[in-house]
Amino acid sequence: MDKQKQEHQWLEWAKELQFIAQAGLTYTKDPFDKERFERVREIAAEIMSLQGRLPLEQVKDLFCNETGFQTPKLDTRAAIFKDNKILLVKEKNGTWSMPGGWVDVMQTIRSNTVKEVREEAGLDVEAIRIIALQDRNKRNQPPYAYNVCKVFVLCKVLGGNFEPNMETVESGYFGIDELPVLAEEKNNKEQIAMCFSAYRDRSEERRVGKECRSRWSPYH
């Protein structure tokens, strides 16, 4: 087993230990079991810190603060097109991503997609349809200490203009062969290509539908 696979296996073990510990802390009534589950969670965080090369306190903040039965987090990414190019926003570290982020409490996938685009790209959009649901840790690097379900949503622009904000400094439209340096932990070229395919499929569906409507007559 190579080094990368070994590190990934350690991360998977750490996540499983965290899941067991969190479930135990949620359902146990025994104070001694609670103490043991707390220690299991600490061990999981220590493994994650060592393998992920992150400060232990940072790992605990991300990894050990949830309560209740553990479920994947949700992340939305908006696929917005113009002239066969996709909209990307530039983050403060210089990398580019599709507008999106964590689904907030009290938000739906649709409303969160719209909200994130407005915040990061300054645009008002309509969420048209879901392109794909993906397990983030199977598609993006580096793996996270928790599971994430990424939701890619095809959108249509209704209005608005970009303005620099707390999260992004620039926006632009790019062809699939002219992509800038991507924030690979959020979206990679394969995922963007998938969105291009969905956009082209929808454009073709609309073209065919328009042709059928123009040819049809109730008097024929």
Joined together, the tokens standing for residue 163 give: 């303005």
DSSP summary character for residue 115: H
* Distance between CA atoms of residues 198 and 176, nearest Å: 13
Q: Would you give per-residue pLDDT tens digits along the chain (220 residues)? A: 576 677 678 777 887 888 788 888 888 888 889 899 889 888 888 887 877 666 777 677 666 666 666 678 899 999 999 999 999 999 999 999 999 999 998 999 999 999 999 999 999 999 999 999 999 988 998 877 678 999 999 999 999 999 999 999 999 999 999 999 999 999 999 999 999 999 999 877 766 555 555 454 444 3
Report the pLDDT value the prediction gives residue 62, as an integer from 0 to 100.
66
Joined together, the tokens standing for residue 84 give: 């066969």
Q: What is the pTM of this model?
A: 0.73
Contact present, 75 and 101 (Cβ < 8 Å)? yes
Position 150: which residue type? K
Domain map (residue ranges) of the chain: 3-63, 78-206
Q: Which residues contact residue 132 at a Cβ distance below 8 angstroms, ignoring those fewer than 6 apart?
A: 151, 152, 194, 198
Choose among 192, 205, 72: nearest CA to 132.
Answer: 192
Taking residue 158's Cβ as centre, other Cβ atoms within 10 Å add up to: 10
Fold category of 78-206 in CATH: Nucleoside Triphosphate Pyrophosphohydrolase (3.90.79)
Contact present, 9 and 1 (Cβ < 8 Å)? yes
Residue 69: strand, helix, or coil: coil
Report the pLDDT value the prediction gives residue 217, as an integer from 0 to 100.
43
* Distance between CA atoms of residues 135 and 194, nearest Å: 15
Report the pLDDT value the prediction gives residue 215, as an integer from 0 to 100.
52
Partnered with residue 72 across adjacent β-strands are: none
Report the pLDDT value the prediction gives residue 220, as an integer from 0 to 100.
38
